Amino acid sequence: MPMIQRQNIPDEISRPVLPNWSQIAFLGSIAIICIASIFLNTSIDPKSSSIIGIMCCLASLSSLKLYEWPLVFALRMTMLAIPGVLTGLVIILYGTDNIVMVHAARHIYQTYEVTSRVLLLTSLALCSSSIAWFLAINKPLRLALRLPDENSPFRMWIYAVLAVVAGTLLAKALGPYVWNAVYASSGGDLFLNIGAMPTIAVIGIIGMYSLMLSNDNIYKNNVRFFILVSVYTLISCMFLRGMRLEVFAAGIAIYIGFSMNKGLKIKPLKLAVIALTLYFFAQTWGVLRSISGTGLTIEDALSNAFRFAKDDGAAIYFQLGTFADIASTFYNTVGLYDDGLVKPLLGSSYLEYIPRTLPEFLYPDRPKDLSGLFENVGLTSGGGFFELAEAYMNFGSLGCIIVPFAITYLIAQCYLNALRHRCVTTILLYMFVVSMFLRGIWYQTFVFYKATITLMVIELFIAMFIPFLSTLLRKRIRHV
């Protein structure tokens, strides 16, 4: 496989070429923000407002075409849009009397009023992300990040050991393969038991791959070793024992790193095929990992999983899976906030990331996860806390502009640095950010922070350990 050698690429080459009409995307995004803001503060028919919200979201997504479909940006925009847009479309088409989100309070927050606000807020987030991408591409930061001993031959082995050890510990915590036992049936609090192990395993895998992408010789000499470690860690220790999200995240990061290295671009049809494939694969595996011991046949389980709508005689249930669970946190947050049942956090949830850094078993009194607020007011949650829900909880409508803008801007800078320098450090950072997409956007922004702390600790350890290994090797060579 031909590789691009590590080098400093001039700005005019590394910076994606933007046609003049990309400025239209920038100005159009500003215009849509103004329109959405007006309708957020105007009393009109909520169903009509919901339709306007859908149109604003679709218009915002059109900026992907103007930016020539950069893969990481397309993925970011799609993940921000899906929860609100998908559930909003179903509610507009089939009405509020049907159950679209099991975890949203029916007849309270699954209404046209809340739906219109969710869609308009989503359009604000999409437009602010588009503006952030435009500004980053046109004014890239000149960062020269380098890890100590980034090209050391010891790095490949250290990353491999991290992946294998973390994978082995995960296998022990997760229990048997899914065909022998239901997922997470090994007893105890699963997520307390596994801790940061999934993140460490993923860092190990993408660390190995970033080394391979930075140098053709490293790739040729280690490709089989990388495949072996990846299959053991991601497939045997994680996927076959029921974990989906972390494995998909690592796979997406590897694919994006490969695409960047080969100069590949995403097209709308290809993006749709990838998204649908991941969705159906995730749904299928989610069913298969849970039927052991239930008495259900695989045919019955899959039939239930892929039945879009189910009529139980009292109501029609629309089964949208994870999308609806994540959307329910947004709907409930908007409803609770607008009804005055929760107070604006004014950034406090982000500041609480610092005391939440330590694991719960070391700091039992650390601030609780935001998703607990639903239980406090008699609601339930499908898990996690959507990025836009937390932003709205902190700063209202303005939060759905500021937070997505800041995160997208940082992602764009990581992308540009990886394009420009193509060294171990920049590629690793870029792939790392992408690997945190799924959990960071849908399950809580805290995931980005916690994973970054984990990466910093690992790299600090590596920076101290490599000189020790080098010294040890030199002494051994002298004695020989």
Mean of the pLDDT values across residues 391-397? 95
Residues 6+ apart with CB under 8 A from 409: 132, 133, 135, 136
Residues 6+ apart with CB under 8 A from 281: none
What is the C-alpha separation between 120 and 109, in angstroms, rounded?
A: 16
pLDDT of residue 8: 44
What is the C-alpha separation between 249 and 244, in angstroms, rounded?
A: 9
pLDDT of residue 7: 42
Rounded to whole angstroms, what are the CA distances from 269 to 59, 83, 266, 274, 451? 18, 20, 8, 9, 32
pLDDT of residue 176: 83
What is the domain range of residue 374? 1-480
Residue type (1 letter), 31: A
For 276-304, how does the pLDDT look when each residue is reduced to its tens digit (9 = 90+)?
787 777 777 777 766 665 666 677 766 66
Residue type (1 letter), 161: V
Count the domains in the chain: 1
Contact 121, 60 (CB under 8 A): no
Residue type (1 letter), 111: T
pLDDT of residue 408: 95
Confidence category of residue 37, pLDDT binned at 50, 70, 90: very high
Contact 369, 357 (CB under 8 A): no
pLDDT of residue 4: 42
Mean of the pLDDT values across residues 111-119? 94
Q: Which residues pair with 309 in a beta bridge?
A: 318
pLDDT of residue 96: 84
Q: Which residue has the higher pLDDT, 17 or 387?
A: 387
Query: pTM for the full model?
Result: 0.86
* CB neighbourhood size of 348 (10 A): 12
Q: What percent of the chain has pLDDT over 90?
A: 40
Lowest mean pLDDT among 5-14, 30-39, 211-220, 273-282: 5-14
Give me the chain's average pLDDT, please: 83
Structure tokens at 156: 């490949």
* CA proximity to 416, closest of 122, 67, 82, 152: 67
CA-based max dimension of the chain: 84
For 268-282, how does the pLDDT look when each residue is reduced to its tens digit (9 = 90+)?
777 778 777 877 777
